[in-house]
Structure 1
Amino acid sequence: MKIVADQNIPALSDVLSGAGTLSYFSERIPPEELLAEADALLVRSVTNVDESLLRKAPKLKFVASATIGTEHININALTERGIGFAHAPGANAQSVGEYVLCAVLNWLNDQSLSSFDEIDVAIVGAGHTGKAAGKRLEALGLNVHYYDPPLCKKGVKFVHDHWQRVLTADIISCHVPLTFEGEFPTRHLFENTALQSLHAQQLLINASRGAVVDNQALLNRVEQGERPSLVLDVWENEPEVLRELVLYIDIATPHIAGHSLEGKVGGAVMIANALLKHFGYEANKTLFEVLPPVEWPECKAEELNKFETLCAWVKEHFDLSHDDSMFRKHGLTSNGFDRLRRNYRKERPRREFINQVVTCHNSEQYIQFLQLGFNARQLPK
């Protein structure tokens, strides 16, 4: 079997050992000579698997994307050709949740608040990443609610469909797929009218897809002054970014919210197992069989349960200001944007909070640190 894969999907050589010949590509589109012989194609969100690509891959039997989203895949075209498909929903959800937590901690640190229980948070999209972000913000004591009209229509109880409640929230965090049609399209969900309603005491985060927020309308809004705080990890028309808009963004990063090592390897393991199963091989690799260990010293809950100490720990282990600085220096061109994503923290990969053991003396501490994403362990009484 000949497998063609994006070189930025990690650990494939370990997980797919013995399954066939593995060839890598480095650009957004695989070379024609690799496509011509490929039995399987493994991609990320930067590669559009459309009719044009499929015509160059006559032997293709299986396609997988190491991502949650599938808008870059023409699934109907795959189905018509009898080509199997898999993706990785939830693989990088914890990573995105930690990105949002870090962004919110930065914002809260600038607010000089005595308590957080009156801070209202609207999570837009109650899927894997939305819930991962929401549970972390709940653990901080914020009032979190989930806006998800499609789930609401299905009768799911913990979501709502009140758009005005979203627009009046103190913190708004986007976690929806990019959809163009249907009853609830998400392209330009935040368009001119919605953006005009936002004010300087609010925080808007987009770690979903760039076109969920109309970038030109956002630029028009922020140029008026009295703008909300803004965190953008995704950009309309990536890898090109609206350079004028970047000047107004508080935290700007090159689509790396889900790029922890756990998130990237988790997606790789999911699609590799799907490939193996599709072709009749044994498929039982696990994430922790592939990941290298982390040597972080154990912490006590008392050391992290104050806001200041938690912020300090987070800054040490996931400093968003570093990613922001690198983006502003090197990511404002298409090539620079792609290069930053491709080489993101290559020398020292970002690791998730689950690698930090936190010992807790009571169930309240245990639940809080578990929700924050740590490896919480309750000491016996």
Structure 2
Amino acid sequence: MHIVADQNIPALPELLGNVGHLTCYVGRTPPPELLETADALLVRSITQVDAALLKQAPQLKFVATATIGKEHLAIDALDARAIQWANAPGCNADSVGEYVLTAVLKVLQQQHRLGEVLDLDVAIVGAGHTGTAAGQRLAALGMNVHYYDPPLAEQGDSRAHSHWQRVLTSDIISLHVPLTRKGLYPTHHLIDIEALQSLHSGQLLINACRGAVIDNHAVIARCEQGECPTLVFDVFEGEPEINKAILPYLAIATPHIAGHSLEGKVGGAYQVATALCKHFDIPLPVKLADVLPEVNWRTLGAVSIQRLPDLAKLVLALYPIDEDDRMMRSHGLTASGFDQLRKNYRKDNPRRQLNNQSIACHNAAQVIRFKQLGFNAYQVC
């Protein structure tokens, strides 16, 4: 079996080296000579798997993307060819959740507002895997979190509501939806000039889903008026070619790496490897833990980070998000620079998740809180 895969999907040699002949491609699109003999194709979100690509792959039987989103897969074209496809739902949800937690703590720390957390109202737009992961972490800080998700509300999900005005009046708005242009609830330019006009300087708007969920040109127009909300963008319209004029208005700008913790990326690889082996009825002999290197962070006592300033200091030390912001502003202004930042993201010092940090707690309440934040919390006598 010939498996063609994006070279930036990690751990594939360890996962699939004994399953078939693995060939990795460089760039956004696999070359025709590889597609011609491919039985399976593993991609990331930068590769458009459309009818034109499929035409070059006459013996293709399986396609998978190591990402939550699947907008880059032409599902109709795949189904027409009876090609099995898979994505990796939830693979990097914790990574995105930690990105949002870190960004919120960084902004509140800079604005000297950490003491206000109990009074802050948070709107999570999209109550799927990543939205839930972000919401549970902000709720653990003591914020009042609610979930805007009309489709889920209609399905009876008790967490979700469909009150858009409640979103626009929230102190923090964090976006976690797929990019859709059709249907009852399209998300393309969900945040448009009208929505932006209703936001003010005391609010924080975070986009860690898809760039075009926010009208980037409208953002620039709104910010030029003054008194605009604080903005944190991990995604941009037109990636990898972005509108550089937006950057001066962003408190934090990063190159679409919210889900790029090592656990998130390897988790996506493991999910697509599992789906591939299941489709071809081949055992997968490797476990996820086998391909994740150990982390030897010193165990901390819950008392030492019980205060929010101390917790913020720890989280920002474990994930220094300002370094990603600096790299974006220095090297992410061109299409090639943006792509290179994603491709080589923390290559020599991978970002690791908070579950690698053990927290020794003295009561059940502490355990619950720190687990909700994503730490490896346990109770000691």
**Other-structure match for 1:330:** 331
Deviation at 1:317, TM superposition (A): 1.1
1:345-360 matched pairs, under 5 angstroms: 345-360=346-361
1:253-332 matched pairs, under 5 angstroms: 253-283=254-284, 285-332=286-333
- For residues 24-53 of structure 1, the C-alpha deviation after alignment (integer angstroms, 9 at most, x for no partner) is 111101111111110000000000000110
- 2:297, 2:18 → 1: CA distance? 34
Deviation at 1:62, TM superposition (A): 0.3
- 2:304, 2:47 → 1: CA distance? 44
**Cα 1:129/1:108, change in 2 over 3 Å:** same
**Cα 1:376/1:113, change in 2 over 3 Å:** closer
**Other-structure match for 1:65:** 65
Contact (CA 8 Å) 1:273, 1:284: kept in 2 or not? no
Deviation at 1:164, TM superposition (A): 0.2
Give 2:345's aligned amino acid: Y
Bigger shift: residues 292-301 or 108-117: 108-117
Give 1:46's aligned amino acid: I
1:212 aligns with 2:213: yes
- 1:219, 1:376 → 2: CA distance? 42
**Other-structure match for 2:22:** 22
- For residues 275-305 of structure 1, the C-alpha deviation after alignment (integer angstroms, 9 at most, x for no partner) is 0111110136432121010010101101111
- For residues 58-102 of structure 1, the C-alpha deviation after alignment (integer angstroms, 9 at most, x for no partner) is 110000000000100001111110111111000000000000000
Deviation at 1:117, TM superposition (A): 1.6
Contact (CA 8 Å) 1:274, 1:283: kept in 2 or not? no
SS at match of 1:122: strand
Consecutive unaligned residues of structure 2, counting only runs of 5 or more, are: none
Give 2:7's aligned amino acid: Q
Deviation at 1:309, TM superposition (A): 1.3
Deviation at 1:238, TM superposition (A): 0.5
SS at match of 1:350: coil
Contact (CA 8 Å) 2:253, 2:325: kept in 1 or not? yes
- 2:181, 2:285 → 1: CA distance? 36
1:1-381 matched pairs, under 5 angstroms: 1-109=1-109, 110-283=111-284, 285-380=286-381
Deviation at 1:112, TM superposition (A): 3.2
Contact (CA 8 Å) 2:106, 2:316: kept in 1 or not? no
- 2:114, 2:132 → 1: CA distance? 25
- 1:57, 1:278 → 2: CA distance? 18
- 2:375, 2:114 → 1: CA distance? 25
- 1:228, 1:317 → 2: CA distance? 27
- 2:379, 2:171 → 1: CA distance? 33
- 2:117, 2:314 → 1: CA distance? 19
- 1:230, 1:6 → 2: CA distance? 32
TM-score (norm 2): 0.98
Give 1:351's aligned amino acid: R
- 1:323, 1:246 → 2: CA distance? 14
Give 2:61's aligned amino acid: K
% identical equivalent positions: 58
- 1:174, 1:118 → 2: CA distance? 20
Deviation at 1:247, TM superposition (A): 1.1
SS at match of 1:117: helix
Give 2:341's aligned amino acid: L
- 1:192, 1:119 → 2: CA distance? 24
SS at match of 2:173: strand
- 2:230, 2:334 → 1: CA distance? 24
Deviation at 1:264, TM superposition (A): 0.1
Deviation at 1:253, TM superposition (A): 0.3
Contact (CA 8 Å) 1:269, 1:285: kept in 2 or not? no
Give 1:275's aligned amino acid: L
- 1:43, 1:58 → 2: CA distance? 17
SS at match of 2:9: coil
- 2:79, 2:287 → 1: CA distance? 28
SS at match of 2:119: coil
Contact (CA 8 Å) 2:15, 2:284: kept in 1 or not? no
Give 2:368's aligned amino acid: I
Give 1:256's aligned amino acid: I
SS at match of 2:36: helix
SS at match of 1:57: coil
SS at match of 2:101: helix
Contact (CA 8 Å) 2:96, 2:259: kept in 1 or not? yes
- For residues 209-238 of structure 1, the C-alpha deviation after alignment (integer angstroms, 9 at most, x for no partner) is 000001011111011111100000000110
SS at match of 1:377: strand
Contact (CA 8 Å) 1:47, 1:72: kept in 2 or not? yes
TM-score (norm 1): 0.98
- 1:91, 1:333 → 2: CA distance? 28
